[in-house]
Structure 1
Amino acid sequence: MTKNYSDTLFEEMKLLAKFPTQSQLEGIKIHNDATPIVITAAKALFDKGLISQTDGGYLTDSGIETVDNLHRVLATLS
């Protein structure tokens, strides 16, 4: 079975991959002059409970787990 994934989902994955994972005290800030797709991705990640703010912030516990899994997938495919 083939599933079609939205471009927005891939933008969310790309944004998640940019979050620092060495420390929970590090995050990122999405500025209001970022591209609309990045702003939309950040809001979607916030709505899913993966980041702490609509404009970035820090990874939540679920976000940390998701990023760990994402890095495993990316490493396997690289």
Structure 2
Amino acid sequence: MSFTPELVAELEILALYNLDSSQEGLKIHHTAAPQAIAAAKRLHEKELITQPDGGYLTSLGRDAAEHAQSLLTILTTQETA
């Protein structure tokens, strides 16, 4: 298994969510990059977010976003160390 461009785009969307507030969602506008629009749609199909254009994280989506953001923190911390 490898990180495909599609998976990276999904991880980038998950990294945008504010995990400090469950009342804060995202809106992926129709003018966003096509990769972001498609990634949000796939995340919705995987039941990680509530709407095909963003919305809120589901319970599973919150878990995924926590892991994605943790991984990003770990990898970027290693780059700057």
Q: What TM-score comes out, normalization by structure 1 length?
A: 0.90
**Unaligned 5+ residue runs, structure 2?**
77-81
Runs of 4+ in 1 over 6 A off after TM superposition: none
- Aligned alpha-carbon RMSD (Å): 1.0
Query: After the TM superposition, which residues 28-67 of structure 1 pair with which residues of structure 2 at under 5 Å, given as runs?
Result: 28-67=26-65
Structure with more helix by fraction = 2
Q: Amino acid of the residue matched to residue 61 of structure 1?
A: S
1:67 match: secondary structure: helix
Give the total of aligned pairs. 76
Deviation per residue, 1:10-61 (Å, 9 max, x gap): 0000011001111111001011111111110000000111100000000000
Cα distance in 2, alignment partners of residues 5 and 69 from structure 1? 15
Alpha-carbon contact 2:14-2:69 (below 8 Å) kept:
no
Aligned to 2:50, what secondary structure does the other structure show? strand
Percentage identity across paired residues of the two chains: 39
